[in-house]
Amino acid sequence: MNTKIKNLIVILFVPQIILVKWLGQYPEFIETYYSRGIYPVISWFWRTIMGWIPFSVGDLLYALLIILGVRYIVVNRMAIKKKPLGFLRDITMVLSIAYFTFHLLWGLNYYREPLSKTLGLGAKHSQQDLVNFIDQLVLKTNELQFSITADTSKMVQVPYSKKEIMARTIEGYQSLENKIPLFAYRQPSLKKSVFSIPLSYMGYGGYLNPFTNEAQANSALPNFRFPVICGHEIGHQLGFSAENETNFIGYMATVSNEDIYFKYSAYAYALSYCLNELVSWDQDEFNSQYNKLNPGVKKNYKELAEFWEAHENPMEPVFKSIFNTFLKANNQKDGIRSYNAVVTLLVSYYQKNPL
């Protein structure tokens, strides 16, 4: 690539950022012409191309890029020292291309209409609304746990392989489509991440590769949590970027499944988020609600907590800080805390559609 083209790509980086932020001020435009217009075609294309491949192409591309990047620095280290501005220009050029590609293929979804507005859901809830909802979730979760194990003290063991869970996740989306056509899912491309172990140490359950549109799930996770993680990542694939929204979509796809293990996973998932919010409001009420849970349910929560504790490391807060900054830079002002905002969506939805 000649110098003039490189310089032009670098110069266009700043106008790109300005254009994206300007477009972001018009969520109705993004919703109509990108999220429900251009993006579904792009997503369908990449899922058709990549979905049949049994492994994650995107993961391998990332690995290859890292290797090539390290090799480039090692091989050209002397030239970099002599011409650091040229190296800086090349780095900026790569970032400019990546920024353009990211927003074209997926990233503009960060600026679409909020899901709460699209579904006509309330934007807030009271503590009493939350407590009432938790009462129902506790009953449902306990009921399913006992139905599966016939013993309130026994932990639920989901008897499926990760591959079977991913296949059943698609079935859940087929059921969800009947309730909310907006979440129709065709041409699946859901895969176990090649980087599942590193993702565990980074504290992530999965991610969507925006360049190949493959939904990547962390297959190292306990089966108890894996169904909603798969549902969550498909939610991103459908063009929903906000983490609270994909938490909601993942829950809805999982609870809509006819399989009792999926329903248990979904109710326990929703309950965990609701209890986490309740404890920040009223410790006594939290204790009261938590003590109502069957011991077997508590064992499933403990299983998940022990998984994350086993993968704690000094770098995890760094990775989460980077992701937090990334989310804030992409129109999610609450960063990682936005995951917890799923509670408002859940409470509001079930006020309109009682359990």
Is the pLDDT assigned to residue 335 strictly greater than 70?
A: no
* Summary mean pLDDT of the chain: 92
Looking at the DSSP bridge assignments, the partners of residue 27 are: none
* pLDDT at site 355: 80
Write out pLDDT tens, residues 236-247.
Answer: 999 999 999 999
Would you say 347 and 251 are in contact if contact means Cβ atoms under 8 Å apart?
A: no
Q: Name which of 30-44, 127-141, 174-188, 335-349 the model is least confident about.
A: 335-349
Write out pLDDT tens, residues 246-298.
Answer: 999 999 999 999 999 999 999 999 999 999 999 989 999 999 999 999 999 99
pLDDT band at residue 170 under the 50/70/90 scheme: very high
Short-list 213, 202, 241, CA closest to 115: 241
Q: What span, in angstroms and rounded, lies between the C-alpha atoms of 12 and 220?
A: 41
* pLDDT at site 319: 64
Is the pLDDT assigned to residue 338 strictly greater than 60?
A: no
Mean pLDDT, range 83-103, rounded to an integer: 91
Is the pLDDT assigned to residue 46 strictly greater than 90?
A: yes
* pLDDT at site 86: 82
Look-up: residue for tokens 């190949």? 212
- At a CB cut-off of 8 Å and minimum separation 6, what does 205 contact? 199, 217, 218, 221, 225, 229, 232
What percentage of the chain has pLDDT greater than the value 90? 80
- At a CB cut-off of 8 Å and minimum separation 6, what does 274 contact? 130, 133, 134, 137, 343, 346, 347
Is the pLDDT assigned to residue 79 strictly greater than 60?
A: yes
* pLDDT at site 72: 86
What percentage of the chain has pLDDT greater than the value 70? 95
Q: What span, in angstroms and rounded, lies between the C-alpha atoms of 47 and 188?
A: 6
Q: Name which of 11-20, 71-80, 208-217, 244-253 the model is least confident about.
A: 71-80
Is the pLDDT assigned to residue 336 strictly greater than 60?
A: no
Q: What span, in angstroms and rounded, lies between the C-alpha atoms of 53 and 67?
A: 23
Is the pLDDT assigned to residue 189 strictly greater than 60?
A: yes
- At a CB cut-off of 8 Å and minimum separation 6, what does 293 contact? 138, 141, 142
CB atoms within 10 A of CB 179: 11
* pLDDT at site 339: 58
- Domain map (residue ranges) of the chain: 3-111, 122-352
Is the pLDDT assigned to residue 327 strictly greater than 70?
A: no
Would you say 269 and 251 are in contact if contact means Cβ atoms under 8 Å apart?
A: yes
